[in-house]
Amino acid sequence: MTAQRLAQRPTIKILLYTDDPSAITAGKNLLGLGSMIRRLRAHAPVFADLSIKWVSRSSDCNHHADNKLNLVMSREVEKTGEPFDEIWFFGLHQANTERFSLGAFRGGPESELGDDEIDAIEKWMKVEGGAGGGVLMTGDHNNPVPPNWIRNSQGRCADPIEAPELLGLGRAIGRCVPRAGELRKWDGPPSANAGDSFNTLASDGFQTDRVPQKLIYEFVNADGEPDLQGKPHPLFFYRPGRYIDIYPDHRHEGALVIPDISNTVVWPAGPNGQPKPSVVAFGTDRRAGKRISLVTTYDGDRAGVGRIVADSSWHHYVNINLKGFPHPAPPNSDSDKIGQFYGNLAIWLAPLHKRCQMAQAMCWELADFTLLLEQQGDPSRTGEAAFSVLGRSTSPCEIHELLRAVRQPQFAQRRAELANTEQQALGLVLDSYQKALIRAEQESIPNGNI
């Protein structure tokens, strides 16, 4: 068995799910995702391939809800044998409406997720063995209720309020996604009106311009929970010791909320406690000068469910807001930092078992490489050399997440418990991989040919 075979990289499969095929496209139009997709590809992980698929719930103006989420998910498994690893939600429609149209009143009677869909995604987010899928939940500000609104009165996605005035953009496909839907405020202010909007425009210019907003971090601990002694969240890792400190801006962002997580059926606990969602980045509302939440994370690893990132607006991902940041761009530019954020998202949201496969690929490749340096037998020096290689080739977020994955049980037997640093630990893991490589090479050579 060769190292190349052993180091086979997994593929992270991302579904970009929208509900408006003529607005939030995968192309070049103002609300399209084309620019984000190009940047994501350019910042793809080193130890995994990316597969990105864009699907609209309604294929076109003649087909309403022909791509319900449960069908899209099951079709993917039938077609490829593998489920999606992540679903990134980019919804535009607010709610169920009387008749389907992509004209003035966009949406239709099946704009909101049905029970079959919610059941399917709930199951997918909680697969045994660390395979629970990751979710990016976006939306935008809240707008007046569509005049042809139909109140959803049945099932798991029944409306909790009778007569809302404002409903969120993206609410129709976002609100009832387990856990993730609870991280956004889908009714009431903020709206697009100057009086109650969340305006993060960084200058007197526009969202199209070259001036991004500045991020304010919440420092977090290793579990992603607030800790003044911690660091910015791995999503914002850029270069060693440096962080992604800017973000696309927008005149009317949506709002994030931290929900009540006392229901442990919805927000489960694991042997090491109950993971909590936490805001990890803030922006500044120019109107009131107040901090507003931009990014919330939930690390479900400890509870056996998928990770979640909630964002205050899909404007942080669409072409109109990326116009001022030409791509490709040199390191340290705002454009490169934004691209790295998308790459970090793909890694961070990957299911635990995928991150473990990536870590395994990383270990085999590093073991093979450091073997050539003739340092085998000295785990400390092997670890040092491996870290040096990683630092030159791999993003800090990917290194961080894969070294965390190396702490999983399947790696633990290869790792000395007394290692003081991650470098030492990696060296010990690589040492065992190198021994396995040497054994495999020896077994492949027929007797008598030595």
In eight-state DSSP terms, residue 146 is: P
Residue 251 binds other proteins, judged by CB under 8 A: yes
How many other C-beta atoms are found inside a 10 Å radius of the C-beta of residue 7?
Answer: 18
Residue 93 binds other proteins, judged by CB under 8 A: yes
How many residues interact with other proteins (rule CB under 8 A)? Answer: 51
Residue 81 binds other proteins, judged by CB under 8 A: no
CB of 13 to other proteins, least distance (A): 9
Residue 146 binds other proteins, judged by CB under 8 A: yes
Among 3, 7, 33, 52, binds other proteins (CB under 8 A): 52
How many other C-beta atoms are found inside a 10 Å radius of the C-beta of residue 80?
Answer: 13
From CA 319, how far away is CA 32, in angstroms rounded? 6
Residue 333 binds other proteins, judged by CB under 8 A: no
- Token pair, residue 87, equals 């679903």
Question: Which H helix or E strand runs over 6?
Answer: helix 3-6
Among 3, 23, 69, 220, binds other proteins (CB under 8 A): 23
CB closer to other proteins, 24 vs 367: 24
CB closer to other proteins, 210 vs 407: 210
Among 25, 70, 152, 200, binds other proteins (CB under 8 A): 25
Determine the 3-state secondary structure of 238 from DSSP: strand
Residue 8 binds other proteins, judged by CB under 8 A: no
Stretch that binds other proteins, among 102-110, 116-124, 212-220, 272-280 (CB under 8 A): 102-110
Which residues from 182-221 bind other proteins, rule CB under 8 A? 203, 205-210
- Token pair, residue 397, equals 């977020």
Between helix 115-124 and helix 69-80 the angle, nearest 10°, is 50
CB closer to other proteins, 196 vs 209: 209
Strands 142-144 and 216-217: unpaired
Residue 359 binds other proteins, judged by CB under 8 A: no
From CA 11, how far away is CA 289, in angstroms rounded? 43
Residues with Cβ < 8 Å from 75, sequence gap 6 or more? none
Phi, psi torsion values for 72, nearest 5 degrees: -60, -40
CB of 17 to other proteins, least distance (A): 10
CB of 266 to other proteins, least distance (A): 29
Residue 61 binds other proteins, judged by CB under 8 A: yes
Residues with Cβ < 8 Å from 206, sequence gap 6 or more? none
How many other C-beta atoms are found inside a 10 Å radius of the C-beta of residue 388?
Answer: 12
CB closer to other proteins, 361 vs 386: 361
Among 37, 235, 356, 428, binds other proteins (CB under 8 A): 37
Residue 53 binds other proteins, judged by CB under 8 A: yes
Residue 26 binds other proteins, judged by CB under 8 A: yes
From CA 422, how far away is CA 404, in angstroms rounded? 9
Residue 30 binds other proteins, judged by CB under 8 A: yes
Residue 344 binds other proteins, judged by CB under 8 A: no
- Token pair, residue 47, equals 């130890």
Among 145, 266, 329, 440, binds other proteins (CB under 8 A): 145
Stretch that binds other proteins, among 47-55, 124-132, 178-186, 253-261 (CB under 8 A): 47-55
Residue 171 burial (10 A CB sphere; 0-12, 13-18, 19+): buried
CB closer to other proteins, 27 vs 377: 27
From CA 405, how far away is CA 412, in angstroms rounded? 10
Closest CA to 321 of 174, 211, 185, 168: 211
Q: Are 93 and 111 in contact (CB under 8 A)?
A: yes
Sites of contact with other proteins (CB under 8 A): 20-23, 25-27, 29-31, 37, 41, 44, 49-56, 59-61, 67, 72, 92-94, 102-106, 143-147, 169, 203, 205-210, 251, 320, 323-324
